[in-house]
Amino acid sequence: MNHFFISLFYFVIVIGFMVLIHEFGHYAVAKLLGVRVEQFAIGFGKRLFGFRKGETDYRINALPFGGYVKMSGENPMDERTGDPREFLSHSRWHRFLIAIAGPVMNILLAIVLLTGVYMVHYEHPAYLDQRAVVGWVEHGSPAEKQGVKPGDRIVQIDGVQDPTWAQVEVKQLLSANQPLSFAVQRNGEDITGSVVPVSVSNSGAGSAGWTPYEPVVIGDLELGMPAAKAGLKPGDKIISMDGKPVPSIQAMIDSLQQSKDKPLQLTVERGGQTLAFTVAPLLADTPGSTEKHYRLGFRNSYETKVTKLPFSEAFSHSLADNKRYSVILLQLVGKLVQHKASPKMFSGPIGIAQQTGEAAQEKGWTPLLGLCAAISLNLGIFNLLPIPIMDGGVILLLFIESVMRRDISLQIKERIYQAAFVFLILFAAMVIYNDIYKAVTQKLP
């Protein structure tokens, strides 16, 4: 219950700030161009409190999911007076600038936040920058069925040449139940094929069953589980299991399902010392799965590279990462439209609140600020999608009107907005349902 209130508190703060930045973009450009702003609102519904300054009512409303800037004459169905300060009295160029200002502010905020985070604490899993050399292939996986073996180097995946593991993971994540062309290099010979990643979580994420060589480092421990009882600690690096090297966390998980509850000898590196532990796996519930598995009870924490970047490098990395995340998001939307991706991969208010609460409870402010950057970028990109009522829809209609060299009739606009409103309500309901489904199934045996 305490975690629920922490998540809710930070969710409201984070989303409120993101909406404030977004709406300020619309507000500032509207004011600059001489459009009358009647309301600047955070939230929807009934006005809770606020203040009036000049011609604008600054207000906080009852429903904290979004916000808006109400400009005079903005609604096409409103009666127009011809006042030059009305929104529709301004040129299409002015209206375009006002519409795009909100998403641009969110994208700029994501770049600024991530730059600041990287200047203080630039941390990322070490394997993501490495060439995609396969460390382990899961038994019975699509990759194994295609003949992929540990030691193979992935030299092509879905058209991407010489990919890093970061690129491979994105491709398989977004391609559940869809064929991916690939080529691996083995002993100097290129071997080509096609692999179909399978859905491995309740969010619909895909996996081909190949993993990088990445030493297992213990992260969070579950109280009452074998690892915690045996005396293992966060930060311990598992060197071997029953005398055999452990190339990846997935290799370890596969081995546990084979050995079942048989006691295992773990060799662990801790603070420069090598220690030995005897641990017996336990058949237990698995987060994110409806099935029980043999487990030791810890979350894997990858070996990471940690440093502080100077401003120029931090800014450059921030631009590159935000560009990459934007492309991934647009690819996901494209696959969703083509029915090649599951809507479960989207997170709604409940999922975002959970992630915000978890980030807020991590050490330091950088995890929460990093998540804020991701949310801000998602908000900016989502608002640019060509959906009427959204900023991208407004821009699309302005573009169509510019090509036609006349305004679209008010009756057609009204029908478009009504259909878009119904679509957004249905989409929101679907996303919230998926959030609830994922939250419930994570706790089922």
Active site amino acids: 23
Do residues 25 and 44 touch, judged by C-beta distance below 8 A? no
Place of tokens 């029908």: 415
Listing DSSP states for 206-225 in one string gives EE-SEEE---EEEEEEPTTS
Main-chain phi, psi angles of 432, to 5 degrees: -65, -40
One-letter amino acid at 104 equals V
d(CA 415, CA 355): 37
Q: Which residue is it, tokens 């994501």?
A: 110
Residues near 323 by Cβ (< 8 Å), separated by ≥ 6? none
Rounded CA-CA distance 290/398 in Å is 48
- The residue type found at 309 is L
Q: Say how far apart CA 36 and CA 241 lie, in whole Å.
A: 69
Q: Which of 224, 148, 140 is nearest to 180 (CA)?
A: 148
Return all residues near 411 (Cβ < 8 A) that are at least 6 apart.
Answer: none
8 Å CB contact between 248 and 256: no
Neighbours of 299 (CB within 10 A): 12
Query: Token pair 């060439």 is at which residue?
Result: 131
Q: Could you tell me the maximum CA-CA distance found in the chain, to the nearest angstrom? A: 83
Strand-pair partners of 221:
298
> What does the alpha-carbon distance between residue 46 and residue 304 come to, in Å, rounded to a whole number?
48
**Structure-token match 């060799």, residue found:** 267
204-213: b (≥16 Cβ within 10 Å) or e:
bbbbbbbbbb
32: which DSSP letter?
Answer: H
CB environment 256-275: b (16+ within 10 A), e (fewer): beeeeeeebebbbeeeeeee
Burial of 75 (0-12, 13-18, 19+ CB in 10 A): middle
Decide if 247 contacts 213 (C-beta within 8 A). Answer: yes
